[in-house]
Chains A and B, each alone.
Chain A
Amino acid sequence: MTEKILMCAPDFYGIKYEINPWMKIEIQSDYEKARKQWKALYNILKNDLKVDVQLVPPREEVPDMVFTANAAVMYGNKAIIAKFKYPQRQPEEEYYADWFRENGYEVITLPDGMAFEGAGDALYLNGILYSGYVPRTDIAAHTYISELLKIPVISVELVNDNFYHIDTCFCPLEDDYLIYYPKAFDEYGNKIIETNVPEEKRIIVNDEEASYFTCNAVNVGKNIVTNITTKRFSDLLASKGFTHIQTDMSEYMKAGGASKCLTLKI
C-alpha cells in the first residue's frame, strides 16, 4: 500500500520566536536554502520512495506550520488534532483541522488546557502509542487518548531540553525496530524501552548523532531518511537491513526540527 504523508511548503518558514533551545532569532534561516532542503526531502519521498505526498497550504502568521508532524496523531481515519503548548503555534490547530475535515478525515479535538503536540509526541510501536510528556505534552492527554481510542498508551518522560518532543529522540521503524537516544529519557523510560523492545531491535544513537537529530527520521518501508549524520549510523542501519538516505536539514535544525518533523504519516 502506498504511504501517504502530509507536508507543508516552507513559504513562511523562519525563526520568528524562541520556544525551544535550538531556536535563536539572531540565527535566522536562509529562505532559499530552506526551500531547497524542503524540496529535496519532498522529492525523495514523492519521486524516489513513491510516497503519496499531500500538502496543507502554508499560512503567513505560523512559520512553524512547516512542521506537520505536530498537526495531529492519526488513528485510522481519525485525526486527533494538536493542542499546542505555546500560543505562537496555537493558530495552526484550526488550519490543520480544516484540512483534515476537507479531506475526509474525522477530526477529534482534546479538551482546552490539555497540551498535546500530535505525532511529534506520540508514535506507534508494536501496537502501543509511545507518548512523551512534560516539555510540550501533558500526561493527562495520554490517558484521554487511550480511553478515547481504546489503545494502550505508554508515557515516557522527556528529561533533556534539547529533545523536547519524543520524535526527536525515539523513532519506531518497520518490523518493530527502534532508533532512540537513551540520554533523552530517565531511568524509568529506559527501562520501559529495554523491557518492551528486544535488544536486537534497538538502534541506539550516540551523542554526536543525537545532535544531528538522527532520531528524527522518516521511515518508508526499509528506507530511512535523516539529516546528514555519521557513517557509523549508516552502517548500523545497513546491518539491520535498512537503506539510509541522508539529506541536509541544517536550516530546519535552527528551529529544532529535521526530516520527520516536516512530515506526518496520514
Chain B
Amino acid sequence: MLIERIFEVFLSGVTLGCIYAVIGLGFMVFFNVTKIFSFTVGEFAMLGGMISASLYSIGLPLAVAIILAVLASCTVSIIVWLFFLHRPFSQGNPAVTIIFITLGIHLLISGVAYIVWGTAFKEIPYFSQVSPLVWGGATISPQSLWIWGITSLTIIGLSLLFDRTLLGKGLRACAIQPLAAKLMGINPLYMAFASFILAAAVASIGGVTLAPLTMTQYGVGVGLTMKGVLAAAVGGMNKARGPIFGGLTMGLTESFVGAFISSKYMVAAALGVFIALLLVRPQGIFGVKEEV
C-alpha cells in the first residue's frame, strides 16, 4: 500500500516538475541569448491558460482553443517587443535597464489581464475525457500523460531547433559570444527578438498544459515566473538539462513533503531545499561558474 502511495506521489511530482521545467526552459532560452533576467515568462504562461479558457468557454473545440492561445501569446510577445524592447535593445541600453523594462511589461500584462478577466478563476477541462488510469496500483490522471508527452515534445523540439537549424545555431552563437556572432554576420538584435518569441511560445505551452490541473487567474504569472526561474537557477543555466533537473527536483520535493509531512509546509520546504542547494552550488548543478 505504501509503495503504491509513494509511486503515486512520485508520478504527481514528476507532472508538476514537467511544468516547472518547461517554464524554466522558456526563461533560460531568453536569458542565455541576451543575459537578461526576464520577468515576463510567467505572464505568457498565464496568458496561455487564460486565453485558452476564454476561447473554450465561447464554444471553440479544445484543441483549436489551445493552439490559438499559444499563437495569441506569441502575438502578444511580438507586440510587446516592438513597443518596449526593440528600442532599448537596438540602442544597446545596459542590462539593468532592460531587466526593469521586462518588470514593467509584467506589471502591464497583469494589469490588462485584470481588466479583461477580473479576479475570477478560470479552468479548462482535461485534454481527454477518460477515467483515471491505474498503473502498478497507482492512479494517474490522464492529464499527467498529456503533460509528460507535451513536455517531452517541447524538449525534443527545442533541441532539434538548437542543433539542426540555422536559427538555432545563431541563437547558440549569440549565447556564447554576441560580439563574435555579430562579426560572423549574425544580428544579435534579431536573435534576441527570436528568443523572446520562442520563450513566450514555450512558456505558454507550459501554461496551457497546467491550466486543467490548477485553475488559472490573472495573477498567477509572477508565481510561475518564480518557479521557472528557480528551476533554471538550481539546475544551471548553461545546459537544457539544468531546468529539467531543477524542475523535477522542485516538483518531487513539493509533492513528497505535501503528501507525507504537511501540505502547509510544502512550498517552504521545496524552497528551503532550493536555497540550500544554491548555497552549496551557486551556479546551479550543471552550471559553469564565472567568478568576478
| Same complex origin of A and B | no
